[in-house]
Chains A and B, each alone.
Chain A
Amino acid sequence: MTDHQKDLDGADMADRTAATDLALIRSMMEAGRRRAGIDGTHFVLWGALLMLAFFAQYMSVVGYIPETIIGIWGPVTVIGWGAEFWMAHRERRQGPGRNIALIAYSTSWASVGLGVLIYFVISLAAGTFDGRTTSILASGLIGAAFFVTARVTGVNWLLYVALGWGLLLTYLAHTTVYDAEMLLVMAGASALLILLPGQLMKRLAADEA
């Protein structure tokens, strides 16, 4: 709460100027923008899970732990979606959840989860699973979700995160080699381009509260 928002109804009209009104407008618009924003919890959740999963897959590929795709990605999927359903249930109990920006944000990220999940289940069932395709698909969907999130919340620095995923997508689409080190790149991208922005968003949300 800024000084501009204090004692609105008791404001001394003699002290009121166009400049003070513009300052009030600016502070309230910023508060509204953050209200429409997000607290970064979902980013932290998925950033941490993906970072650990890609790193575990790297360890598996280089032979430090037994080779198992389902053994790594199965728990990640169950934990991630379980936590999402729990948080959605909690948010429904706590508030309206009808804010259009929140709907756009949650829908874009649900699209990421569904897109990757569909590919994961079908390709494993059909025996066509390919790590490079997964990474390309995930990078494109995550980049798009960050772009949508930045636009609807007005948190413009998230556009740089979207750009980061776009660059990674470009690199993945360009390279012909997808070796174990690429799994480390994806683990690093998950930490740098999901987990870290999530922590920053949580800090911003806490400051606002």
Chain B
Amino acid sequence: MSDYDYRVLDEVIHSRVRLAIMSYLSTAREAEFTELRTRLKLSDGNLSTHLKKLEDTGYVAVNKGFVGRKPQTLVSITDAGETAFKTYVEGLAAMLGPGAPN
């Protein structure tokens, strides 16, 4: 943690799991709950906890519905989430200085 002053970063996104979720959604725009669970190798409960925090902060929207008779939970990034993620990445890159990879 020598050069990593995380206190200047958004603490909601800073959790490694939530950072991974936000990174994924920043390009995929939305994903199924099961897809995120598989990709991040998390349990249902663990993923739900992290998504709840992101949803409460307004960074993601969680919509439950059906495809045919099959229940489906879709998670999508919000405008606020996109802005917060961008700010987070810029802050992170600033820590690494001008030599930071793009």
Binding site for B on A (CB under 8 A): 1, 5-9, 11, 13-14, 16-19, 21-22, 24-26, 28-33, 35-36, 92-93, 95-96, 98-101, 154
Chain A residues with CB below 8 A from B30, complex form:
96, 98-100
Contact with A along B26-57 (1 / 0, CB 8 A): 11111110010001111000100000000000
A7 CA to B46 CA in the complex, in Å? Answer: 12
Contact for A36 among B28, B32, B95, CB less than 8 A = B28
Given A22-B101, A25-B89, A31-B39, are A8 and B20 neighbors across the interface (CB < 8 Å)?
Answer: yes
Contact with A along B70-81 (1 / 0, CB 8 A): 001010000000
Contact for A22 among B3, B67, B92, CB less than 8 A = B92
A92 CA to B25 CA in the complex, in Å? Answer: 21
A-B contact count (CB 8 A): 103
Given A9-B46, A96-B32, are A18 and B41 neighbors across the interface (CB < 8 Å)?
Answer: no
CB distance from B43 to the nearest CB of A (A): 9
The interface size of chain B toward A, counting residues with CB under 8 Å, comes to 35
Measured CB to CB, the nearest residue on chain B to A15 is: B1
Contact for B42 among A9, A13, A19, A98, CB less than 8 A = A9
Given A8-B41, A14-B1, are A24 and B28 neighbors across the interface (CB < 8 Å)?
Answer: no
Measured CB to CB, the nearest residue on chain A to B96 is: A18
CB distance from A98 to the nearest CB of B (A): 7
Give 18 new A-B contacts, CB below 8 A, not counting A5-B39, A8-B17, A95-B32.
A5-B40, A6-B41, A8-B16, A8-B41, A11-B16, A17-B3, A21-B19, A24-B20, A28-B20, A28-B24, A29-B26, A29-B27, A32-B28, A32-B29, A33-B27, A92-B67, A93-B68, A101-B29
CB distance from B86 to the nearest CB of A (A): 11
Measured CB to CB, the nearest residue on chain B to A17 is: B4
A33 CA to B23 CA in the complex, in Å? Answer: 10
CB distance from B76 to the nearest CB of A (A): 9
Chain A residues with CB below 8 A from B19, complex form:
21, 24-25
Q: Are B26 and A19 in contact (CB under 8 A)?
A: no
Q: B93 interface residue, CB < 8 Å from A?
A: yes
Q: Are A35 and B28 in contact (CB under 8 A)?
A: yes
